[in-house]
Structure 1
Amino acid sequence: MKIVCVGGGPAGLYLAILLKLRDPSHDLTVHERDAEGSTYGWGVTYWRGLLDQLHAHDPETARAIEASSVRWSEGVAHVRDLTTRQPGDEGHGIGRHRLLRILAERARSLGVRLEFESLITPDDLPAADLLVAADGVHSALRTRHTDHFGTRIDTGRNRYTWLGTTKVFDAFTFAFVETDHGWIWCYGYGYGPEASTCVVECAPETWTGLGLDTAPEPDGLVLLEKLFADVLDGHPLIGRPSAQAPWLNFRTVTNRTWHRGNLVLIGDAAHTTHYSIGAGTTLALEDAIALSGALHERPTLPQALTRYEQRRKQALLTLQSAAGHSARWYEDLPRYIHLPPQQMFALLGQRHSPLLPHVPPRLYYRIDRAAGRLEAMRRFKRWLGPKLARTAQARAPRE
């Protein structure tokens, strides 16, 4: 097959790797509009389950990614002058630049053509048996056929900005700071021996009340450094020099269908999940695994793309539900922030629950402590989340 991937992020590169491994005769090209090495972002997170999948499908890539990652197994929450630390699942962080370099080098070694500074537009598509839209949340290829894909974009209420810092966090770190204009908080996690990612979020009234809506980015960084001085230990925050809109509202993208003829959506072009669950890169790579498998298993392209879509949409239901509830937890922060620190942190860990918004927080905490470990309760939560997600998608109007 002649296959063209539009977008040189994790989804497009890893798909090219897997397809070449399955069949070296595939003619594969990845087009990336930006220059090589000019990616956005700082570090990305993933969990042990993804690493196991990578080892199963391409051990060489998995070993390189694991060797370049940092690990943590605890979470820390700072609320005012109080701190609580709890054990958690093993998490991993890797610099986005490093991850893409690993994937690009592996793809090249297998014979994939990588074309950087190569802009592919809907009006000038290359000839191919399969065209993969891996061009991100603002996908031009998807946007041209919005009605066909049934694209829906939901914009979150809170404002956030994605920053770096030279402070190296030894755990996944949360810090909540009260200001005269409301609460502002950050999530921090290491991705290398000398740097961490720091995502800052707040309600829109806090954003405007602090003047972050009008402050030049350098002034905004100085203010944030003062607000989070305790957790940063004197280290600076670092913005992206090319950022046109450093403060954003998160956009949740869903699509009714993921393919049209020989065009298929993958990664953020097909779906996004709120950054607070740390699953974006994992889902992109899992899309690549599923699409590669479907193309190998099914005899025709339409059957393969249908199988890929069915498999991934089903797998995403639980995560999309969790991400929606996680985002809502932060939007409803005043509901939880005045609880005793141990309770607040416990409910922070339960923010994915579809039950939590409907139960008084203190009561939920007591119930969860008493019955949360029961298998029947766990099964009920796993069943309820996707069910609510399906109902919401069926009822909501589409753009």
Structure 2
Amino acid sequence: MRIVCIGGGPAGLYFAILMKKLNPAHQITVVERNKPYDTFGWGVVFSDATMDNMREWDPVTADAIQIAFNHWDDIELHFKGRAIRSGGHGFVGIGRKKMLNILQERCENMGIELVFEVDGEDRQYPDADLIIASDGIFSATRERYQELFKPSIIKRPNRYIWLGTKKLFDAFNFIFEKTEHGWFQAHIYKFDAETTTFIVECPEHVWLAHGLDKADQEQSIAFCEKLFEKHLDGHALMTNARHLRGSAWLNFQQVKCEKWWVNNGNSHVVLMGDAVHTAHFAIGSGTKLAIEDAIELTRQFQDMGDAVENIPEVLARYQELRNVDVLRLQNAAWNAMEWFEVCDARYCDTMEPEQFMYSMLTRSQRISHENLRLRDADWLEGYERWFAEKAGVTVDADKAPPPPMFTPFKLRGLTVPNRMIMSPMAMYSADDGVAGDFHLVHFGARALGGTGLLYTEMSCVSADARITPGCAGMYKPEHVTAWKRIVDFVHSNSTAKMGIQLGHAGRKGATKLAWEGIDQPLESGAWELISASPLPYLPHSQVPREMNRDDMDRVKADFVRATRMAVEAGFDILEYHCAHGYLMSSFLSPLTNQRTDEYGGNIENRARYPLEVFMAMRAVWPADKPMSVRLSCHDWFPGGNTADEAVEIARLFKAAGADIIDCSSGQVWKGEKPVFGRMFQTPFADRIRNEVGIPTIAVGAIFEADHANSILAAGRADLCAVARPHLADPAWTLHEAAKIDFKGVAWPKQYISGRSQYENNLKRSYAAPGK
């Protein structure tokens, strides 16, 4: 094949090497705009895993790079006068110029043509069978065929300046310094025997407040030298910014392309490296992506044949396979990038250095609690000890501390024994609102199974507040008796606490039992529905009546009565249901609240009635018992509430006396498009907890101890609610403790003989082949 690589960065050069190695008969040219052996930039960083991959594909290049690179395992944080170090992270750093020179020399030795000082275009090479457009983030090739490549380019808000210094650091350092206008952070790593990369980053508002938008490069460098003076030990900061115009401060741009390759009429053109996708430097992934692009495309030519006629099929397969890994890494890089973008407002001022370090290490969400234990068990044990002591647990020096999920948590006069909640889940099994034997066994089994706090399903405050005829209630004396029986059993036979969730179905009421047709309206026996506005949930659902003031007074009285009954039944905590499109949620969301009176319009008006009811409940709920509010923190539909509105609503409830926010999302508007994934709703809990300053409950796709411990240890939430795993396994909490080999949680005395067998069976399964 005739192959031309436009752009002599890592992607183009390394692909040229691999394809020439695959078949020396290929005629390959690399076109580079710079002079021979002359490039700009400081250090690049990638992981040990990428280095291992390179060694497999071209040992000669890998050996040359190995001699030149700097390897380190440690990450060190400098924050609020403290230095904290964690090991086992495995990075490789090398000067960008050195790496490209190694690749250039390898190309020359292999007979690859290198053309310098030329801005290549694909149209200049009509004889090429394959053109690799590795021409960088501002790719002219991508721009030329943008209607075909369909790029998405997102400019991020933080400002950064890429500098270097002769001060050598022996770890990957992150330094945070506070100024009168906010926080700056530096990302620092040594890449050769003499030089260190020193990237300074800050939010846009901080950058503007310091007048750095008006500063030239020399003034910006002088500012950074002064800011980080105590860490530089008299060394200067240096720039290599000849490629820049004006200010040296940049905004990161995330690039994604819908299509990675096209046919220009003569040749097949494929984007590679930063031209097709970028990933933020917060996890050092740009060079990694470029190198692994080159490896994967070569692999496809190796597997499918490197003949010209195979090019379209190879490129299609390449994009299909490579896009999966790229998206995974881009998502991790996005999480890491966002962490640095929001830490000024969310974490820096409120977190202590220990938790800040944990949060930073797990910012990409690719590194979990147990993964940290593999990397640096001593550091993690020290952190767990710190976390436990903050929770009021005294841990003997010779004993291992409990993991975060098995530490207690206190709200007002309530202390839950561990931080795992059985989430409210409708059972549709009540008889005229009365919780019966099924509920006793259901809640009793999970209390015996180790859960720290059990929430009832939404217990409806009146008969016409029910979702279905099978929903539990709290509006008759017999409801109190039934719930008290369950609460008493839980209190008498376990250490678990019991919470009741009170709510009103609103426009989502009068429907069939879930297994008869979820959300489908009753065909007979339906009751009148009320809501903030007369909008049906489904097109064929009953149309609710818009609530008037008399309705509001009645419903408020129903909630107050139910609250008094919950006190009588002995519940430890009360949750007020303002999520999932039910009555109070219908007031909060602009999708379902189209009122023009004082209860519609802006957030304050939409929240007016739910807050009014909440305060009436709080007034009759015991002062030493906490109240929770469950919110839909994102409607997942255009025009609905987003996380921004959820933060404001949470502030209003905090001011009204709420103790904790249960952060769910969705189920407000049919046609929603949630973004599902592991722990997908936890970011809402994180943001509300750390921006509003109120404890939160994380919910949604939390299904193993590692998830919970990662969330709690990072300060992303204070409690974790688990739903479906509890349906599948009443002893989920005890079993998860066994899986992480934590023996500090008590099993019911009646079940102790089963504990050792369960734990031994786990050990045998781990020892089995393939485990």
State the distance in 2 between where 1:29 and 1:376 align. 52
Contact 2:35/2:116 (8 A) holds in 1: yes
Number of paired residues? 376
What is aligned with 1:269?
A: 275
* 1:248 lines up with 2:580 in the alignment: no
Contact 2:42/2:164 (8 A) holds in 1: yes
State the distance in 2 between where 1:317 and 1:223 align. 37
1:145 corresponds to which letter in structure 2? Y
Query: SS at 2:222's partner residue?
Result: helix
What is aligned with 1:8?
A: 8
Deviation at 1:374, TM superposition (A): 3.3
What is aligned with 2:319?
A: 309
Deviation at 1:124, TM superposition (A): 3.2
Structure number with the bigger relative contact order (C-alpha 8 A, sep ≥ 6) is 1
Contact 2:15/2:298 (8 A) holds in 1: yes
What is aligned with 1:289?
A: 295
State the distance in 1 between where 2:237 and 2:215 align. 15
What is aligned with 2:260?
A: 258
Question: Cα 1:173–1:24, aligned 2, differ >3 Å: closer, same or farther?
Answer: same
State the distance in 2 between where 1:150 and 1:305 align. 17
Query: 1:154-186, CA deviations, whole angstroms, 9 ceiling, x for partnerless residues?
Result: 000100111111111100100111111111111
Question: Cα 1:208–1:375, aligned 2, differ >3 Å: closer, same or farther?
Answer: closer
State the distance in 1 between where 2:43 and 2:288 align. 13
Of residues 279, 284, 298 in structure 1, which corresponds to 2:304?
298
State the distance in 2 between where 1:76 and 1:40 align. 27
1:77 corresponds to which letter in structure 2? L
* 1:327 lines up with 2:333 in the alignment: no
Query: 1:291-328, CA deviations, whole angstroms, 9 ceiling, x for partnerless residues?
Result: 11112222411101011111110111211111111111
Contact 1:343/1:365 (8 A) holds in 2: no
* 1:350 lines up with 2:366 in the alignment: no
Deviation at 1:23, TM superposition (A): 0.4
Contact 1:122/1:140 (8 A) holds in 2: no
Contact 2:122/2:269 (8 A) holds in 1: no
TM-score norm. by structure 1 comes to 0.89
Moved more, 272-281 or 117-126: 117-126
Contact 1:273/1:320 (8 A) holds in 2: yes
What is aligned with 1:83?
A: 83
Query: SS at 2:162's partner residue?
Result: strand
Deviation at 1:375, TM superposition (A): 8.1
* 1:336 lines up with 2:662 in the alignment: no
Matches within 5 A, 1:198-213: 198-213=198-213
Query: SS at 1:205's partner residue?
Result: helix
Contact 1:187/1:199 (8 A) holds in 2: yes
Contact 1:77/1:345 (8 A) holds in 2: yes
2:685 corresponds to which letter in structure 1? V
Contact 1:346/1:365 (8 A) holds in 2: no
State the distance in 2 between where 1:195 and 1:83 align. 22
> Cα RMSD over matched residues?
2.2
Moved more, 238-247 or 315-324: 238-247
Query: SS at 1:252's partner residue?
Result: strand
What is aligned with 2:608?
A: none
Query: SS at 2:86's partner residue?
Result: strand
What is aligned with 1:392?
A: none
Deviation at 1:146, TM superposition (A): 0.5
State the distance in 1 between where 2:126 and 2:118 align. 12
Query: 1:278-303, CA deviations, whole angstroms, 9 ceiling, x for partnerless residues?
Result: 01101100000011111222241110
Query: 1:36-60, CA deviations, whole angstroms, 9 ceiling, x for partnerless residues?
Result: 2332210000111011101110111
Contact 1:73/1:171 (8 A) holds in 2: yes
Query: SS at 2:120's partner residue?
Result: coil
Question: Cα 1:200–1:289, aligned 2, differ >3 Å: closer, same or farther?
Answer: same
Query: 1:345-382, CA deviations, whole angstroms, 9 ceiling, x for partnerless residues?
Result: 10011111366532336879999xxx98638989xxxx
Query: SS at 2:318's partner residue?
Result: helix
Deviation at 1:127, TM superposition (A): 2.2
Contact 2:37/2:104 (8 A) holds in 1: no
Query: SS at 1:137's partner residue?
Result: coil
State the distance in 1 between where 2:192 and 2:102 align. 15
Query: 1:59-103, CA deviations, whole angstroms, 9 ceiling, x for partnerless residues?
Result: 111111111011111111111322211123111110001100110
State the distance in 2 between where 1:301 and 1:205 align. 48
1:271 corresponds to which letter in structure 2? H
1:277 corresponds to which letter in structure 2? I
- Consecutive unaligned residues in structure 2, runs of 5 or more: 366-679, 711-771
* 1:100 lines up with 2:100 in the alignment: yes
What is aligned with 1:109?
A: 109
What is aligned with 1:384?
A: none
State the distance in 1 between where 2:38 and 2:139 align. 18
State the distance in 1 between where 2:172 and 2:196 align. 10
Question: Cα 1:372–1:42, aligned 2, differ >3 Å: closer, same or farther?
Answer: farther
Deviation at 1:198, TM superposition (A): 0.7
State the distance in 2 between where 1:42 and 1:264 align. 27
- Consecutive unaligned residues in structure 1, runs of 5 or more: 379-399
Matches within 5 A, 1:12-51: 12-51=12-51
Contact 1:347/1:365 (8 A) holds in 2: no
State the distance in 2 between where 1:236 and 1:270 align. 35
